[in-house]
Amino acid sequence: MKKVELVNIGKSYDQKTNVIQDINVTIEPGEFFVLVGPSGCGKSTMLRMIAGLEEVTQGELLIGDVKANKLLPSQRDLSMVFQNYALYPHLTVEQNILFGLHTKKISKQEQQKRCREAAEMLGLSEYLKRKPRQLSGGQRQRVALARAIVTHSPICLMDEPLSNLDAKLRAKMRSEIRQIQRKLGITMIYVTHDQTEAMTMADRMMILNGGNIQQVGRPLDIYNAPKNTFVASFIGSPPMNLSNVSIENNLLVFEDRRAISMSTPHSNLNGKKEVVVGVRPEHIQLATNDNTSFIVEVDNVEILGTETLLTFHMGDKQWMAKWNGQWTIKVGERVPIFIDPKHLFLFDGDTGSCLHYEPSAEDLTVKGALV
């Protein structure tokens, strides 16, 4: 196992175009680390810099304790699984799996042993003589993963390997990849734009936007304490509800003049009169006669079997509530809702920063994260 350290890493293609800026993070040995963010945020570029497929234009990249900025990809002792799998159509599954070993001084006997072990681990034993065109999408993904496993590299990079699969197969492969990573004890760096993949697979994850770190930490820590409005709206399904409000006598007043009280006055407001309030959909409850916060008109209902999603307007935004079970509520119906003030998040209206965010020990060691 090896750690990967990025120190003041930056990437630019000319003096005016900075794709990645001032990235500082240490990926620990044996960690499943996920880079997540919207398209164009720089996550795949960062992975390619670690792999040696893109030049590092600023800072230092350390693999183990060795500076790797100028090392060739073959000298970095890592493997990579690409988004399109990159299988050779004219080779069999077995030949594809073993392809990367022909440049290493490994005996034919050892190569066959590794191939059999990887194929058995991934359920490919009966497909070794087939060509990639005879396989399903999930089976091709397994072949690409097996090719990475047989190298016995201590670091494996994966660039959105599940994006071409259907939803059911993605869920299955998420579990399989995580189990294989634990079994082999390798350091895995995984790129995705899917926050569900990030939440379910990562030991830690880094959220990127516009080439900048937004937050780094364990999935639940980030979910429960988002550092800014971008993280709050990106992590969560459905995402956090956000609206502009004004502060009047310890009340949060929406654009339509509905109001909700804050649990306690926040010392971090610094006299601010306008902020952004955030509430997770699961924290919006059906009210009883004693605790009604608002009466809302339902704009849309989605009954998903195990849960029901309600859409309604609050102030200038459309909000969603997520209730467990099946609710036979009709569009246009007016329902009472309750929001416990302890579940409110307040964000600066200008910077988007959370006004009552308390930095964790990890925040203090990750220079590139916004505080």
pLDDT in tens, 269-282: 766 788 999 999 99
Please, where are the H alpha helices in 91-136?
93-98, 108-121
**Whole-angstrom distance, CA of residue 250 vs CA of residue 266:** 9
pLDDT value, residue 189: 96
Position 266 confidence tier, pLDDT thresholds 50, 70, 90: low
Please, where are the H alpha helices in the chain?
43-51, 93-98, 108-121, 137-149, 167-184, 195-201, 219-224, 229-234
Cα dist from 308 to 65, 71, 227, 311, 322, whole Å: 50, 52, 28, 10, 6
pLDDT in tens, 201-232: 999 999 999 999 999 999 999 999 999 999 99
Which segments of the chain belong to CATH 3.40.50.300? 4-224
pLDDT in tens, 37-78: 998 899 999 999 999 999 999 999 999 889 999 999 989 999
pLDDT value, residue 371: 28
Position 173 confidence tier, pLDDT thresholds 50, 70, 90: confident
pLDDT value, residue 93: 93
pLDDT value, residue 270: 66
pLDDT in tens, 117-159: 888 888 899 999 999 999 988 888 889 888 888 888 899 999 9
The mean predicted confidence, pLDDT, of the chain is 87
pLDDT value, residue 267: 53
pLDDT value, residue 366: 43
Position 341 confidence tier, pLDDT thresholds 50, 70, 90: confident
17-27 vs 204-209, strand pairing mode:
unpaired
Reply yes or no on whether the pLDDT at 325 is more than 90.
yes
Reply yes or no on whether the pLDDT at 102 is more than 50.
yes
Place of tokens 């072949």: 143
Position 362 confidence tier, pLDDT thresholds 50, 70, 90: low
Cis peptide before 29 (omega within 30 of 0): no
Q: CA nearest 278: which of 326, 239, 222, 324?
A: 239
4-224 has CATH 3.30.530.20 classification: no
Reply yes or no on whether the pLDDT at 83 is more than 90.
no
Mean pLDDT value across residues 166-178: 85
User: Topology of 229-352 in CATH?
Assistant: OB fold (Dihydrolipoamide Acetyltransferase, E2P) (2.40.50)
Q: CA nearest 212: which of 5, 14, 3, 45?
A: 45
Reply yes or no on whether the pLDDT at 3 is more than 70.
yes
pTM for this entry: 0.87
pLDDT value, residue 265: 57
Lowest mean pLDDT of 26-40, 117-131, 254-268, 324-338, name the range: 254-268
The sign one gets for the Cα dihedral 353, 357, 359, 362 is: negative
Which segments of the chain belong to CATH 2.40.50.140? 229-352
**Whole-angstrom distance, CA of residue 7 vs CA of residue 344:** 36
Length of the chain: 371
pLDDT in tens, 280-301: 999 999 988 777 788 999 999 9
Reply yes or no on whether the pLDDT at 359 is more than 60.
no
Q: Are 226 and 240 in contact (CB under 8 A)?
A: yes
